[in-house]
Amino acid sequence: MLRDVSMSTIYLLVTSIIYFLCTKIVFDNIFLTSKVVVDEEFHLAIGQAYCKYEYDKWDPKITTLPGLYLLSSFILGPLKKCSIYYLRSINIGASVLNFYLFYFLLKKYNNEPAWKNIFSAINIALLPPLYFFTHIYYTDVLSVTFILLMLLFHEKKNNYVASIFGFCSVIMRQTNIIWVIMIMGRLVLNEIYECSIKNENISLINFTKNFTSIKDTCMGIVGNFFKKSTLKFWLGLFSYISILISFVVFVVLNGSIVVGDKSAHKATIHAPQLFYFALFSGFFGWPIFATEIFNFIKFAQKYLSTIITTLVLCVLIVHHNTLVHPYMLADNRHYIFYIWHRFYAKYESFRYLIVIVYIFAIYVVMKKLWYKNDVTYAFPYTFCVIVVLIMQKLIEFRYFLVPYILFRLKLKNVTQESITLEFLSHVLVNILTFYTFFSKELTWSNYDYPQRIMW
């Protein structure tokens, strides 16, 4: 046993070192190629100001809270290392930490061999959109870090510490409040299970069809919950509620969830975002999704009327609720610009033909997520993904990162072949991404340096 633990630790350490060294090579080349990448022009200036303890400076074009800049100040300020290179390097450190957090959470969620979890952890770390942001000064990598820390400490039943990391995640990106709500929901459902379901042998899934029995069952669950729930649970719950209260106060005082330029990020209802997320998941997790093709065909044959109804509903949603943000049409520095113009905008029929792919991807996500009816994770996750995505008008791959990572971490029984193909495809996409970044220059009249294409 000791030998196995030692070997797994060595594998983990060696993998992280190789990952860091390879990332550092790419990082240095990006730094030599471009000192400012797209929105870094706003982030870097404020990051340098905070690093020098100039907390009174701000740029109204920044729409997120100053978590990234505050952390830069705490880490780099005492060292007086406030250059662009060191500001960007914070995300490399966060990325390596994320790799370890991915591994620990994968280990928590399944009984796979250590090497397999290490392999999956490196695959998630190499998720192309996430991996690209490792090399520049954006909030996404550190945002993921604090969400993972919150989730890990929650799984360790230390919700006080988890709530602190949850608060830090919100300071990074305001929309992370939804993942605090997810963890809080999971805490409540777990406590309900511990208090009533586990002890009373009552099923949350298979209710009887008799209304009176359903009502009695629910009353019994609620009664047991309040009778048997522990003080530790209530203190943990309050630690999350305190974050929600603070967030509500912030929104009321600020007048919006967005700081800075509110006009470009108005809340709306944009249901097709769920379809785009499903497509994102199917694309980057294709080796895993491909194993479900025949199962989906059998499901469709068995529940043909359900599939047809879903297909019609999705087509109606696409027709009536497809929204296009001006940024997406104008900014040719992002891949979504080219995807939209070359497929969705150029061929209107494409929007409808791809609906069946959306349905397949949603089927796989739901099937994998609701493994053995694990409602304590699947239900709050599903609810929170719907809420966080459909309120976004702008389509950005970054919005799908946390939902996909939380989905990928919970996958069980992933085959060695799927993990290997996942690794190879992530590496290939990253190579193509960085090749495009280094080789393709765009000229913008209001910039005296070339612009480049990124996620």
Report the alpha-carbon angle 451-454-455, nearest 5: 150
Using CA of residue 292, residue 358, residue 374, residue 404, what is the dihedral sign? positive
Residue 110 neighbours by CB under 8 Å, 6+ apart: 117, 412, 413
Query: Residue ranges per domain, the chain?
Result: 1-138, 139-263, 267-414
- Nearest 10 degrees: CA dihedral of 34, 40, 45, 46? -150
Q: What share of the chain is helix, strand, coil (3-state, %, to 5)?
A: 75, 0, 25
Predicted local distance difference test score (pLDDT) of residue 35? 87
Written as six digits, the tokens of 239 are 């630690």
Average pLDDT over residues 334-338: 94
pLDDT at 374 over 90: no
* Mean per-residue pLDDT over the chain, rounded: 91
* pLDDT at residue 330 tops 90: no
CA 428 distance to own-chain centroid:
21
C-alpha–C-alpha distance, residues 391 and 396, integer Å: 13
d(CA 448, CA 85): 21
Nearest CA to 284 out of 139, 429, 386 is that of: 429
Q: Per-residue pLDDT tens for 19-66?
A: 999 999 999 999 999 989 988 999 999 999 999 999 999 988 898 999
According to DSSP, the residues that pair with 442 across neighbouring strands are 451
Q: What is the pLDDT of residue 448?
A: 86
Point out which residues pair with 451 in neighbouring strands.
Answer: 442
Quick check: pTM over 0.85? yes
Alpha-helical (H) ranges within 255-374 are: 272-284, 286-290, 293-302, 304-321, 326-330, 335-339, 348-353, 355-369
Q: 3-state class of 78 per DSSP?
A: coil
Helix (H, G, I), strand (E, B) or coil at 177: helix
Residue 221: pLDDT band with limits 50, 70, 90: low
Q: DSSP letter string over 379-410?
A: HHHHHHHHHHHHT--S--GGGGHHHHHHHHHT
pLDDT tens digit string along 276-312?
A: 999 999 999 999 999 999 999 999 999 999 999 999 9
